[in-house]
């Protein structure tokens, strides 16, 4: 099995590199986010110290672009293209599976659908050069420190442990994704009713009010956010001269609150870990992303 070749490289080395890049990616990602958030954050999808997307991305880029090694300029733009494509496809697949986005570039300049952005793509190109010149020789050196027989044993055990960890995390993420999908639908229905009641005339106004009240759902405790949003809506009704809408909105708000309360049940530690590691998960971000797109479109039309 280990002798099977993928783009000219045997499976043993491909898998060894993948695991090492995954661990290195976890160290980088978790350290960066932990420093930024000023608290320890495990950024892996699985509970173990690996970020598989880094491993898969790095090995894929290396295998595809290996024939270009030594041609710095072509290699750079190849890295931009291949890594950006992988990032986009990964985002689409994960959104389809989990009904939410795991990262969001909507607030970055020159982004496409919030899934990729120019700044990130430029960085991928430089990372590709660093990988070919520094990281890949380092990874190959680490692999060569042990005999292939010992390495095969280590890889086999690692793959079995990873498979169990991945299965557990996947089941958790699927349950969480189902709830987030229900949240998104409930928020969309509620937003539609608000527009029917003439409370908001544009996506920009609705987005502003949702964010002001903290309805980004950063956490699953909704009580204070619902109360704050009701205050904002009541104030808006008074300001717009629509006092008769206050009672109707209060009823709609109660229905929405009941729906969300039924959806949001107590989560296990792994769900809390995923939400802590990937804040976008708990923001019903696809709904908010849609509002942001509508908002930007409205502003462009106004100009």
The pLDDT value recorded for residue 229 is 65
The pLDDT value recorded for residue 284 is 46
pLDDT band at 220 (very low <50, low <70, confident <90, very high): very low
Torsion of CA 174, 219, 100, 214, to 10 degrees: 160
For residue 67, the tally of other CB atoms under 10 A from its CB is 13
Dihedral sign from CA coordinates of 33, 142, 4, 6:
positive
pLDDT band at 125 (very low <50, low <70, confident <90, very high): very high
Residue 234 reports pLDDT greater than 50: yes
- Which three-class secondary structure state does DSSP give residue 36? helix
Residue 71 reports pLDDT greater than 50: yes
Q: Where are the alpha helices (DSSP H) in 99-130?
A: 118-130
DSSP string, 49-87: S--HHHHHHHHHHHHHHGGGTT-HHHHHHHHHHHHHHHH
Confirm whether pTM is higher than 0.85: no
Higher-confidence residue of 231 and 136: namely 136
C-alpha closest to that of 85 among 121, 51, 50: 121
* Mean predicted lDDT score pLDDT of the chain: 77
Question: CA 296, CA 298: separation in Å to the nearest integer?
Answer: 5
89-104, pLDDT tens digit by residue?
Answer: 988 887 777 666 667 7
Give the mean pLDDT of 44-64: 88
pLDDT band at 118 (very low <50, low <70, confident <90, very high): very high
- Which three-class secondary structure state does DSSP give residue 202? coil
For residue 44, the tally of other CB atoms under 10 A from its CB is 24
- Lowest mean pLDDT of 57-71, 122-136, 137-151, 171-185, name the range: 171-185
Residue 249's Cβ-count burial label (10 Å; 0-12, 13-18, 19+) is buried
Pull the structure tokens for residue 192: 């539609």
The pLDDT value recorded for residue 217 is 45
Question: CA 104, CA 98: separation in Å to the nearest integer?
Answer: 14
Give the mean pLDDT of 4-30: 91
The pLDDT value recorded for residue 180 is 66
The pLDDT value recorded for residue 185 is 67
Give the mean pLDDT of 260-284: 58
Higher-confidence residue of 229 and 42: namely 42
Residue 120 reports pLDDT greater than 60: yes
For residue 29, the tally of other CB atoms under 10 A from its CB is 18
């Amino acid at each position: 099995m280990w002798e099977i070749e993928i783009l000219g490289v045997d499976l043993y080395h491909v898998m060894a590199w993948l695991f090492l890049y995954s661990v290195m990616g976890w160290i980088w990602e978790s350290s960066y986010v932990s420093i930024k958030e000023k608290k320890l954050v495990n950024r892996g999808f699985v509970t173990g110290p690996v970020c598989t997307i880094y491993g898969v991305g790095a090995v894929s880029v290396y295998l595809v672009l290996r024939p270009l090694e030594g041609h710095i300029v072509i290699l750079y733009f190849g890295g931009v293209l291949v890594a950006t494509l992988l990032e986009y496809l990964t985002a689409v697949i994960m959104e389809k599976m989990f009904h939410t986005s795991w990262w969001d570039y909507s607030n970055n300049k020159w982004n496409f659908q919030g899934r990729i952005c120019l700044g990130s793509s430029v960085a991928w190109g430089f990372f590709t050069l660093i990988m070919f010149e520094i990281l890949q020789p380092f990874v190959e050196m680490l692999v060569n420190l042990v005999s292939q027989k010992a390495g095969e044993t280590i890889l086999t055990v690692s793959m079995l442990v990873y498979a169990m960890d991945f299965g557990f995390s996947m089941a958790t993420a699927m349950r969480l994704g189902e709830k987030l999908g229900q949240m998104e639908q409930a928020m969309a229905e509620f937003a539609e009713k608000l527009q029917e009641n003439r409370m908001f005339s544009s996506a920009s106004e609705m987005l502003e009010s949702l964010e002001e009240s903290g309805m980004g759902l950063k956490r699953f405790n909704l009580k204070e956010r619902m109360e704050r949003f009701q205050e904002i809506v009541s104030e808006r009704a008074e300001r717009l001269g629509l006092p008769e809408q206050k009672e109707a909105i209060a009823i709609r708000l109660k229905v929405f609150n009941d729906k969300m309360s039924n959806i949001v049940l107590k989560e296990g530690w792994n769900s809390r870990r995923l939400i802590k590691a990937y804040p976008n998960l708990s923001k019903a971000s696809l709904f908010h992303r849609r509002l942001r797109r509508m908002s930007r479109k409205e502003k462009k039309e106004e100009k």
